Structure 1
Amino acid sequence: MTTVAPGSDVRRHELAEFLRSRRERIAPEQVGLVRGPRRRTPGLRREEVAHLSSVGVTWYTWLEQAREITVSAQVLDAVARALLLDASERAHLFALAGSADPTPHTLCPSVTPALRAMLDQLGPVPACVQNSRYDILAHNATYGRLFGDLAGKRPEDLNCMWLAFTDPEWRAAVVDLPATHRTMAAKFRAAMAEHLAEPAWKTLLARLEGASAEFREVWARHEVVGQGAKAKYIRNAHVGLLYLEHTNLWLGPASGPRLVAYVPLDEQTRERLERLERLEHLEKPAATTSAPLTPRS
């Protein structure tokens, strides 16, 4: 008589084998670790993956042993990042775990070809499309260089909250960083009230809390503020100081996606934005800069 293993057992074992195979292919140097003379394990050790994922060594060991344990979407997200999984591998990981990916790469219906064309036509005014979680869904050439080179960022890091608290280029461009941090955190908290149970929001919050002491400090204030226009200074690395008005054009309900534009408030700023736009086009003449970069709605 042949005994068929339950589907959950098969998936757990397949998940364990998949994790081992991904762990063993990564050289320590790829994740900033020293190989050392006595290393015999191909790739990373289990404890190294656990450390990089900020999870317990015992827990991760049980996961690779196909133990019957509960795995949250947030932990799977951290493991996927530690193992440098690409989009297909990440989708496979979440499918094997029977969990919904909190940051799926699905198209945002609000970012249409016509909207992307309009973003380009707004140049040299920097403009982008964001959702209420601050994910950057699309942008034009000038916005791509406003706070730093967005072309060099990983898709999962194209989020204004994440960049403002962790990215050196972005932080250097913000003239009043402490005030900006407080305002962004307060807006994020106000928007999150409608999304408290959603994995994507919880995952972003966990990443921010784990990566930034500054974020933990301002988040503990429990301040809230609504969206609105505001004049601000931005110190661009290529063209100098810019005086801009940040304004929102809502593409749906107030808690949904919005077009964000930075309108110049003086002639010097307008001229500098024109220089910035020319610089981007000269360096990337064939690029379609308004294509969606982190297409999550």
Structure 2
Amino acid sequence: MTETTQTAQNGRRKRTELAAFLRSRRERVTPADVGMPPGPRRRTPGLRREEVAQLAGVGVTWYTWLEQGRPINVSVQVLDAVARSLRLDEAEWAHLYRLAEVPDPGVAGLCVDLPEDMQGILDGLSPKPASVVNGRSDVLAWNDAYAAVFPQLVQAPDGCRNSLWAAFTLPDCCNPLGNMETEAALHVAVFRYRYSSHLNEPRWRDLVRRLSEASPRFAQLWATQDVALPGPRIKVFQSPAAGEIKTRTTSFDATADHDMRMVVYTPADEDSAKRIDWLLHNPQEAAGAICHQVAGRACDRA
């Protein structure tokens, strides 16, 4: 494949994603939300294309072509008007910029190696579990407390330590996430926010494909086109050996590449701190409690 052909193919992928995203956001906004009369009977509850065009101050044909994913020129001003009309939040706004290939200063830069002192920093944070992950949710480095709480991940083969894969594919007996019912949608929405910067990268597309094939829940949530900004929140983990562990997560940029970040898990209560401490001092029992299924399912490569 020539470079020209590859560039054209990458452009088509982004336009396809842009079209799906715009349709999903338009269908979410009702006329009442933007102060418009309901009008005649609608096939869908959301806005019509001509209504979005009217709100954004653009031509109906131009907006239709944009939503159809046609290769048209898009200015910052016009894209902002469309974003306001569709009532996009900050994460969705940035996502729209990436898909439309409009320069956005918030987009992450180059991927670089971890600093040589990173492991020492991680070790110094123990007994708080801490790891370094990339935007794709690959776990790149960790301390002993993290290994004690997440033996499912650190025992996976090199190149297969991915927390998103673990969350959506591991059986209940050894799935580290204890609140998937409430967290699954947010996990996928945050991942889509990062994914929009990497649409042309085969490893990212391959992960989405494999997750969609392996997890009906992921496939369903991915199809919603929802996007959310990453941020600190309460995460509940389930250790087969120690029980429920509640933590507050805090992330820090680990390098100049904003996709590479250190995640620190602070116990949210005294019981959780005691359970982490027990796991830290009983690593063999912690590791021995995980299912035998983990090794085979840690990374279902295609």
* TM class by smaller structure: 0.5 to 0.7
Which of residues 226, 229, 235 is equivalent to 2:232? 229
Task: For residues 110-163 of structure 1, give each alpha carbon's deviation from its aligned partner in whole angstroms, at most 9, with x where no partner exists.
Answer: 423311111111111111000111111111112123244334312232111111
Show the counterpart of 1:200: 203
- The answer to whether 1:168 aligns with 2:188 is no
Give 1:282 shift.
Answer: 8.7
Indicate whether 1:144 and 2:147 are aligned: yes
Q: How far does the alpha carbon of each residue in 1:206-245 deviate from its partner, in whole angstroms, 9 at most, with x for none?
A: 1111211111011011110011000122221122221210
Alignment partner, residue 215 of structure 2? 212
Residues 1:135 and 1:170: Cα distance change in structure 2 (over 3 Å) = farther
Amino acid at match of 1:224: V
User: Residue 161 of structure 2 corresponds to which residue in structure 1?
Assistant: 158
Corresponding residue number in structure 2 for 1:246: 249
Deviations 1:269-297 (A, max 9, x none): 2222111111228999xxxxxxxxx9xxx
CA gap of 1:171–1:187, structure 2 versus 1, over 3 A, is farther
Instruction: Name the residue aligned to 2:265.
Output: 262
Q: SS of the residue aligned with 2:262?
A: strand
CA distance in 1, matches of 2:255, 2:262: 10
Preserved CA contact (<8 Å) 2:190 2:228 = yes
2 CA distance for matches of 1:167 and 1:139? Answer: 20
Aligned to 2:66: none
The residue matched to 1:247 in structure 2 has which SS?
A: strand
- 1:178 positional shift: 2.6
Q: How far apart are the structure 1 equivalents of 2:116 and 2:208?
A: 31
Equivalent of 1:126, from 94, 114, 129? 129
Q: Which amino acid in structure 1 is aligned with residue 115 of structure 2?
A: T
Number of positions where the alignment pairs a residue of Structure 1 with one of Structure 2: 178
In structure 2, C-alpha distance between the alignment counterparts of 1:219 and 1:267, rounded to whole Å = 36
Partner residue in 2 for 1:26? none
Alpha-carbon distance in 2 for matches of 1:273, 1:283: 10
Give the match for residue 275 of structure 2: 272
Match of 2:57 in 1: none
- Report whether the alignment pairs 1:182 with 2:188: no
Mapped partners of 2:285, 2:212: distance in 1: 38
- Contact preservation (8 Å) 1:192, 1:201: yes
State the 4+ residue runs in structure 1 displaced beyond 6 angstroms.
Answer: 281-284
Q: Give SS of 2:144's match.
A: coil
Contact 1:123 1:277 in 2 (8 A): no
Kindly tell me: are residues 157 and 167 of structure 1, through their superposed partners in 2, closer, same or farther at Cα, counting changes over 3 Å?
A: farther
Instruction: Please say if residues 185 and 215 of structure 1, whose CA atoms lie closer than 8 Å, have aligned partners that are also in contact.
Output: yes
Q: CA separation of 1:125/1:164 partners in 2, compared to 1, >3 Å: closer, same or farther?
A: same
Identity of aligned residues (%): 29
CA contact (8 A) 1:110 1:257 kept: no
Take 2:252 and 2:146, find their aligned partners in 1: how far apart are those partners?
16
- When normalised by structure 2's length, the TM-score is 0.54
